[in-house]
A and B are shown apart, each in its own frame.
Chain A
Amino acid sequence: MNPVVVHDLAKRFGDTTALDGLSFDVNDAELFGFIGPDGAGKTTLFRILVTLILPDAGTAHVLGLDVVRDLWAIRARVGYMPGRFSLYPDLSVRENLEFFASVFGSTVEEAADVIAPIWRQIEPFRDRRAAALSGGMKQKLALCCALVHRPDILLLDEPTTGVDAVSRREFWDLLAELKASGLTIVVSTPYMDEASRCDRVALVQHGKILEIAEPGVIGARYPRPLLSVRAARRHELLQALRQFPHAYSVFPFGADVHYADARTDAVPAAIAGELAAWLASRGFPDARAEPIPAGVEDVFMSLMGAPGDEVAA
């Protein structure tokens, strides 16, 4: 049996549907990512998987154990990092680690090999109070604490939220190292660019899985010709592109603008020529358009539909 097997999982809180029938499997030694904004249901899912709350319907098995019946067995074997920083702020780095080891009847020494890559990075701060660590260091310590009882699977709920871009990259480097050692890791994030660090990702919104795929192939699911357009006056460029008769969607992407064409069968190279000519006539002689493969964020926005739906829900 796969380390995580979830079937038709549902959970409501009053009028709010947090999980609306989720099904997925996570493979052995896989780094599996849940990508979606706040409110997508990521935290509810993780809390069910680590047996902190009960589902209303559906089933979930972690390491072959049932999340409702076998909660004590599951708790001993999962490493869980909640989205909210949950270490003891008044204890030092070393003391936090020792505390979490002792809760599981273990010692830091027994986990030395497992935590080694992370411990190397936080050891210089071993005597510092956890409260005085920077955001990136706090998350590395929390990861260390989640590993200190040698779990068989890691469940990390938004470990990189609010963490700066460079510390995020370092955190994912650590996850890659842990995965290489054979650990199964399930992680959630609101940052679309982190999808590329996962073996497979599930895109989630409003308690539903929109898509599950390897990040490298997910772009192929994009249903329309997509082009990247660049010109000096980007904000005006956005407005101008939205006026183009065949525009389906126009979104800023960093320094570029991503333009999707409503004509699903049109040849992207031909569209590039049309766009350049049209923009030149509208006062953008420097505009350049080129066909690009869709990224995870493009796919996500295409799948999530009109954002205006949200408030009516």
Chain B
Amino acid sequence: MNEQHSAPDAAIVVHDLTRRFGSFVAVNAISFSVARGEVFGFLGANGAGKTTAIRMLTGLLLPTSGEATVAGYDVYRQPDEIRRHIGYMSQRFSLYEDLTVEENIELFGGIYGLSDQRIEERTRELLDGLGLRDVRRRLVGGIPLGWKQKLAFSVALIHNPDIVFLDEPTGGVDPVTRRQFWEMIYTTAAAGTTVFVTTHYMDEAEYCDRVSVMVDGRIAAMGAPAELRRQYGVATFDDVFLRLARPSAA
């Protein structure tokens, strides 16, 4: 068996990936692939299995069966390699609130094994890129949520990962900052980093190159948002989601 890592064409390849908890099948034989530099929206209702799938793809949870490679690494055998080559941010946990902006950047740089010189360079780049130089000595707990989320995103990119996983990154963020956040996503993807993102804002589904919608552990639909709207004959992605998640109601 060839365990060598070579630059893959697809950032994520998933085939029949399954995870059971006792008799409950949280993720039921899902298959998809995400191209390098793609913005992929991973949607689904609460409890549909998204979080379990993400935990498997980020090397935090072993699958029951099926296959998946992330950045070319196998989720069963190379979870440590996966974690080194991906970035992750969520709405709930991303940064240490009682460290300053600058300390957070340095801490995560250290965790990802960047050299002191590299950490210094990246800190400068991030602070200037985000316009946060003036608040670099402020505790993260004291800066507005929108800024926190932009900083968390940048920190998730500090080691130049192949793929970044964003779990509800814009929850509760004001409408202007939410759109600026998506500009950052586009810039990141244009530079070649694959973006894997979840959201409950259905307008944001439209900002993805492709989306998948999970229902009861399975991927019920996948494609470009406009394609899915056409396929279901509806005007907004909100309605696509409603048809899939509550077929009886639509």
Give the B-binding residues of A (Cβ under 8 A).
Answer: 16, 36-39, 134-137, 161-169, 190-193, 205, 235, 251-255, 297, 300-301, 304, 307-308, 310-311, 313
Let me know if A310 and B175 touch, CB within 8 A: no
Q: Given contacts A166-B246, A167-B45, is CB(A190)–CB(B144) below 8 Å? A: no
Q: A38-B172, A255-B206 are in contact. List 5 more A-B contacts (CB 8 A).
A: A16-B142, A135-B47, A162-B200, A167-B46, A190-B173
**Most B CB within 10 A of own CB, among A166, A192, A308:** A166
User: Which residues from chain B contact A169 at a C-beta distance below 8 Å?
Assistant: 242
Contact of B242 among A137, A166, A205 (CB under 8 A): A166
A307 close to B176 (CB less than 8 A) = yes
Q: Across the interface, do A311 and B147 meet the contact criterion of CB distance under 8 Å? A: yes
* Cα–Cα distance between A300 and B174 once the two chains are bound (Å): 9
Residue of B nearest to A133 (CB): B47
Question: Are A162 and B180 closer than 8 Å at their CB atoms?
Answer: no
Question: Contact: B175 with A192, CB < 8 Å?
Answer: yes
C-alpha gap A164/B146 in the complex (Å): 21
Tell me if B144 and A39 are in contact (CB < 8 A): yes
What's the tally of chain B residues with a CB closer than 8 Å to chain A?
46
Known A37-B146, A38-B145; contact A164-B46, beta-carbon cutoff 8 A? yes
B 224-250 to A, binary, CB cutoff 8 A, 1 in contact else 0: 011001000000111001100110010
List the A side residues contacting B207 at CB < 8 Å: 252
Whether A162 lies near B168 (C-beta < 8 A) is: yes
Closest to B149 in A: A38
Residues in chain A near residue B202, CB distance under 8 A: 165, 254
What chain A residues lie within 8 Å of B182 (beta carbons)?
252
CB proximity of A207 to chain B, nearest CB, Å: 12
* 9 A-B pairs with least C-beta separation: A134-B47, A135-B46, A37-B174, A38-B172, A254-B203, A307-B176, A164-B45, A166-B245, A254-B206
Bound Cα distance from A54 to B238, whole angstroms: 40
B186 close to A (CB within 8 Å): yes
CB–CB A310/B200 < 8 A: no
Who on chain B is nearest to A206 by CB?
A: B144
**Contact of B171 with A162 in the complex, beta carbons under 8 Å:** yes
Residues of B within 8 A of A166 (CB): 45, 241-242, 245-246, 249
Q: Which residue of B lies closest to A298 (CB)?
A: B175
- Mind listing 25 A-B residue pairs with CB under 8 Å? A37-B145, A37-B175, A134-B47, A135-B47, A137-B47, A161-B172, A162-B200, A163-B46, A164-B48, A165-B241, A165-B245, A166-B241, A166-B249, A167-B45, A235-B186, A251-B179, A252-B207, A254-B236, A255-B225, A255-B229, A255-B236, A301-B175, A307-B176, A310-B177, A311-B144
Closest to B168 in A: A162
Residue of B nearest to A173 (CB): B249
The residue in chain B whose Cβ has the minimal distance to the Cβ of A308 is B131
Q: Is B62 an interface residue (CB 8 A)?
A: no
Contacts of B205 in A (CB 8 A): 254
Kindly provide the distance from the CB of A89 to the nearest chain B CB, expressed in whole angstroms.
15
A165 touches B200 (CB 8 A): yes
A38-B135 in contact (CB<8A)? no
* B87 surroundings in chain A (CB, below 8 A): none
A121 to B218, CA, bound (A): 23
Asked whether, in the complex, the Cβ of A164 is within 8 Å of the Cβ of B245, the reply is: yes
Is the pair B147, A310 in contact by a Cβ cutoff of 8 Å? yes
Chain A nearest CB, measured from B235 CB (Å)? 9
Write the B110-153 contact mask toward A (1 if CB under 8 angstroms, else 0).
00000000000000000000011011000000111111000000
Most buried by B among A37, A161, A168, A169: A37
Counting chain B CB atoms within 10 Å of each CB, the highest count among A137, A252, A304 belongs to A252
Looking at the assembled complex, report how far the CB atom of B101 sits from the nearest CB atom of chain A, in whole angstroms: 10
Report the separation of the CA atoms of residues A184 and B202 in the bound assembly, to the nearest whole angstrom: 29
The CA-CA distance from A161 to B201 in the complex, in Å, is: 11
- Least Cβ–Cβ distance between A280 and chain B, in angstroms: 21
When distances are taken between beta carbons in the complex, the residues of chain A under 8 Å from B168 are 162
Name, among A137, A205, A304, A307, the residue most crowded by chain B CB atoms within 10 Å (CB to CB): A307
